[in-house]
């Protein structure tokens, strides 16, 4: 495809326009108040696969509980998972915890200061290492996420994939303000150059855009619908929970309500919706007699629940039932 991308002479103007817009319009997000690499790292890991609005509260609580890399390294895995409970994709929390221990035990407590070294940490890939290195240390390295990819596609009028997107992002990067530039590109994609109905009239780079308003939505896989039934058994102020095994591919060792056979269930206590990747679940929480609980679980006091690594679904069910 013949490239129609912005001419080199115009690139400087694009940079000025976008950075100016970003500095005047950026959202006031808690992790933007600091250039501490640990704070930025935690926020970037939380923001993978999770919306900004959902991350804000979790981030505040997590940083209060584990304000430094040393505090995180010293915590038990169960405490870290409990703090993460509800955010989903628990592998992120485990990797963050393992990486914090590596930093404390092998790197004298110092977070690596460049993208190559950051990439050696568990759970830190090309995107996260570039985000931390550019924002915390000003390293001249571009990031690419879904937002950046979409902005580049519309701006240049060229659909790219793989390495060529990263190369183009690197060409356009303002190397003197790499951290702000990267955040500006992502912010533009998140708030103005949105997947559907972009706000081109408010866009600081509209003048240079080759495909204003272009619809770049990719075909989404069909969503599956399923129903799951969980039982809630109570004994005084205790509830019965089961723990997932350590071999489970999803949410190993986390606690949840026991599942119940559709043909035997009692009164429905709550009905909720839950979505994971490409599946939409209808969840029924039903009454389960204390004498009918499965083997291998545990009676847990309600006070203890908040400290336990619960699956997001269990937490949601307890909230719906006013137990948490």
Of 122, 123, 213, 297, which one interacts with ligand SF4 (CB under 6 A)?
A: 213
CA distance 134 to 223: 37
Of 73, 186, 203, 293, which one interacts with ligand SF4 (CB under 6 A)?
A: 203
Interaction of residue 148 with ligand SF4, rule CB under 6 A:
no
Of 37, 88, 157, 198, which one interacts with ligand SF4 (CB under 6 A)?
A: 198
Site string for ligand SF4, 151-180 (x = CB under 6 A): x--xx-------------------------
| 3-class DSSP assignment, residue 224 | strand
C-alpha pair distances (Å), 14 with each of 6, 124, 174, 178, 179: 9, 30, 10, 14, 16
Of 141-149, 206-214, 303-311, 316-324, the window that binds ligand SF4 (rule: CB under 6 A) is 206-214
CB of 199 to ligand SF4, least distance (A): 6
C-alpha pair distances (Å), 220 with each of 47, 217, 223, 273, 277: 21, 8, 8, 20, 11
CB of 159 to ligand SF4, least distance (A): 13
Of 104, 111, 205, 286, which one interacts with ligand SF4 (CB under 6 A)?
A: 205
- Which residues, 6+ apart, have CB-to-CB distance to 221 below 8 Å? 278
CB of 150 to ligand SF4, least distance (A): 8
Of 206, 252, 298, 300, which one interacts with ligand SF4 (CB under 6 A)?
A: 206
Structure tokens that stand for 222 in this block: 């069909």
User: Closest by alpha carbon to 318, among 208, 207, 240?
Assistant: 240
187 is catalytic: no
What is the phi/psi pair of residue 282, to 5°?
Answer: -100, 125
CA distance 94 to 76: 11
Binding residues vs ligand SF4 (CB under 6 A): 151, 154-155, 192-193, 198, 200, 203, 205-206, 209, 212-213
């Amino acid at each position: 495809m013949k490239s129609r991308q912005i001419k080199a002479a115009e690139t400087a103007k694009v940079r000025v326009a976008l950075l100016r817009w970003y500095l005047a319009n950026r959202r006031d997000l808690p992790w933007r108040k600091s250039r501490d690499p640990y704070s930025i790292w935690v926020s970037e890991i939380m923001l993978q696969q999770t919306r900004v609005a959902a991350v804000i509260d979790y981030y505040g609580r997590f940083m209060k509980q584990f304000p430094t890399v040393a505090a995180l390294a010293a915590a038990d895995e169960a405490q870290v998972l409990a703090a993460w409970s509800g955010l989903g994709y628990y592998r992120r929390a485990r990797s963050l915890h393992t990486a914090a221990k590596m930093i404390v035990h092998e790197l004298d407590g110092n977070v690596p200061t460049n993208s190559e070294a950051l990439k050696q940490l568990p759970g830190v890939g090309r995107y996260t290492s570039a985000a931390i290195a550019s924002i915390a240390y000003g390293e001249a390295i571009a990031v690419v996420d879904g937002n950046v990819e979409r902005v580049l596609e519309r701006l240049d009028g060229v659909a790219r994939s793989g390495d060529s997107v990263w190369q183009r992002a690197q060409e356009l990067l303002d190397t003197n303000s790499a951290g702000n530039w990267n955040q500006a590109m992502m912010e533009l994609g998140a708030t103005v150059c949105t997947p559907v109905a972009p706000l081109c009239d408010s866009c600081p780079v509209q003048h240079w855009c080759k495909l204003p308003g272009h619809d770049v939505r990719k075909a989404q896989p069909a969503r599956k619908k399923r129903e799951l039934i969980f039982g809630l058994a109570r004994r005084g102020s205790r509830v019965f929970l089961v723990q997932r095994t350590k071999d489970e591919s999803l949410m190993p060792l986390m606690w949840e309500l026991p599942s119940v056979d559709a043909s035997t269930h009692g009164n429905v206590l709550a009905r909720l919706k839950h979505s994971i990747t490409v599946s939409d679940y209808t969840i029924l929480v039903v009454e389960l007699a204390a004498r009918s609980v499965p083997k291998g679980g545990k009676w847990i006091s309600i006070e203890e629940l908040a400290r336990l690594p619960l699956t997001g679904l269990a937490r949601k069910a307890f909230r719906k039932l006013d137990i948490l």
